[in-house]
Amino acid sequence: MKVTSGILKGKKIKTKRGLSTRPLLSRIRKSLFDVLGEAVKGKKFLDLYAGSGAVGIEAISRGAGEVIFVEIDPECVRIIKDNLIHCGVYSKAKVYQQDVLHILPLLLKEDDFDFIFVGPPYFKGLQDKTLDIIQRSNNFKGEVIVQHSPKEKFNLKREEIYLIEQRKYGDVILTFLKVNLS
């Protein structure tokens, strides 16, 4: 897998072997960041359930000021760190080996993120649980992008969280949400 665009275009990204993670395909990552466009430049990006770190590294490549990666799997955390070092962008990142549902309230309390990417394992209800935490934080104002299966439904009817659009790419849907909590 390679970075699709930006300053790191063409850099290889290692992924975990096997079926325990689903790295977002290059064409979907490219489309995601084409949608976000210049809005990512200089912004703070949170990559939840980060896997190999491909989405967050793509954000750095497209000009994000800082990316925070959260992943519970120790092998994936090692791969994220290796990828950041290989790409020469470790200084633009922080990597936490934590359960997203436990660390997210603290991260939202201590930091102001502009974008949150949510790419959890499918069919575990983690989209709703993660959005619940974001909604309860009462201080996040930005965009959330949720990666999920077309077969997986989650609650989009939430106060102050608005659907911008959904894009389908085969067996992956990206749902773009605007959050305006105060």
Residue 1 lies in a domain: no
Q: What pLDDT band is residue 181 in, cutting at 50, 70 and 90?
A: low
Max Cα-Cα span within the chain: 42
| Mean pLDDT across the chain | 92
Classify residue 158: in a domain, yes or no: yes
In a domain, 19, yes or no: no
CB neighbour list of residue 180: distance below 8 Å, 6 or more residues apart:
141, 160, 161, 162
Other C-beta atoms lying within 10 Å of the C-beta of residue 37 = 9
pLDDT range class, residue 153, cuts 50, 70, 90: confident
Residue 141 forms part of a structural domain: yes
Question: How far apart, in whole angstroms, are the C-alpha atoms of residue 178 and residue 64?
Answer: 18
Q: Which domain holds residue 135?
A: 6-13+24-180
Half-sphere exposure of 82 (CA within 13 A, CB side): 13
User: Is residue 40 in some structural domain?
Assistant: yes
> What is the pLDDT, as a whole number, of residue 155?
78
Write the DSSP symbol of residue 15. Answer: -
How far out from the chain centre does Cα 151 lie?
20
Place of tokens 């519970």: 72
Read off the pLDDT of residues 91-145 as tens digits, 9 standing for 90 and up: 999 999 999 999 999 999 999 999 999 999 988 999 999 999 998 887 788 999 9
In this prediction, what percent of the chain has a pLDDT beyond 90? 79
**Chain centre to alpha carbon of residue 175:** 12
Residue written as token pair 């466009």: 37
For residue 46, the 8-state DSSP code is E
Q: What are residue 151's phi and psi, to 5 degrees?
A: -85, -5
Domain-located, residue 18? no
Number of domains in the chain: 1
pLDDT tens, position by position, 9-30: 999 999 987 655 567 788 899 9
Q: Which CATH number belongs to the domain containing residue 128 in this structure?
A: 3.40.50.150
How far from the centroid of its chain's Cα atoms is residue 22's Cα? Answer: 13
The pLDDT, as a whole number, for residue 66 is 98
158 — pLDDT class (breaks 50, 70, 90) = confident
CA–CA gap between residue 80 and residue 168 (Å, rounded): 26
Q: One-letter amino acid identity for 50?
A: A
What pTM did the predictor assign? 0.94
